[in-house]
């Protein structure tokens, strides 16, 4: 499906079309949940090496954070499609909830870098 605007709603349609045309069928929800955890683990691996204290192995130097984040998004969209979740609506509702809940909370919190030690 060709589209010029990548809204969450359009992305859900694009992924569904891709599954029907290329992927043949969705994996089960449980399998996709396991794949999502695996993909998030790949993101964590990159973050821990690029921004954390671990170092890259020679074989890991060519990894691409953007590609791994896109893989997470793809599988997340698959799960949303399979379970009937409209991600655009859900995201708006989540953002509204967080805005109401956290309107002043983060501004009032004192950042203490030693608190996590």
Q: What is the CATH number of the domain that holds 55?
A: 1.10.287.1080
Amino acid 54: pLDDT: 86
Q: Is residue 109 part of a domain?
A: no
Q: Is residue 87 part of a domain?
A: yes
Q: Domain containing 69: what range?
A: 8-100
DSSP state of 89: H
Where does the pLDDT of residue 3 fall: very low under 50, low under 70, confident under 90, or very high at 90 and above? Answer: low
Q: Is residue 39 part of a domain?
A: yes
More confident residue, 54 or 4: 54
Number of compact structural domains in the chain? 1
CB environment 63-88: b (16+ within 10 A), e (fewer): eeeeebeebbebbbbbbbbeeeeebe
More confident residue, 56 or 44: 44
Residue 23's Cα: distance from chain center in Å?
Answer: 20
Amino acid 108: pLDDT: 78
Helix (H) or strand (E) holding 82: helix 65-83
């Amino acid at each position: 499906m060709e589209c010029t605007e990548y809204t969450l709603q359009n992305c859900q349609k694009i992924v569904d079309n891709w599954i029907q045309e290329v992927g043949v069928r969705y994996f089960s929800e449980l399998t996709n949940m396991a794949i999502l955890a695996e993909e998030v683990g790949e993101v964590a691996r990159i973050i821990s090496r690029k921004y954390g204290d671990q170092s890259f192995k020679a074989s890991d130097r060519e990894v691409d954070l953007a590609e791994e984040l896109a893989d997470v998004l793809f599988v997340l969209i698959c799960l949303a499609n399979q379970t009937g979740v409209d991600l655009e609506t859900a995201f708006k509702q989540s953002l509204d909830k967080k805005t109401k809940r956290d309107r002043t909370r983060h501004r009032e919190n004192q950042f203490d870098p030693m608190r996590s030690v």
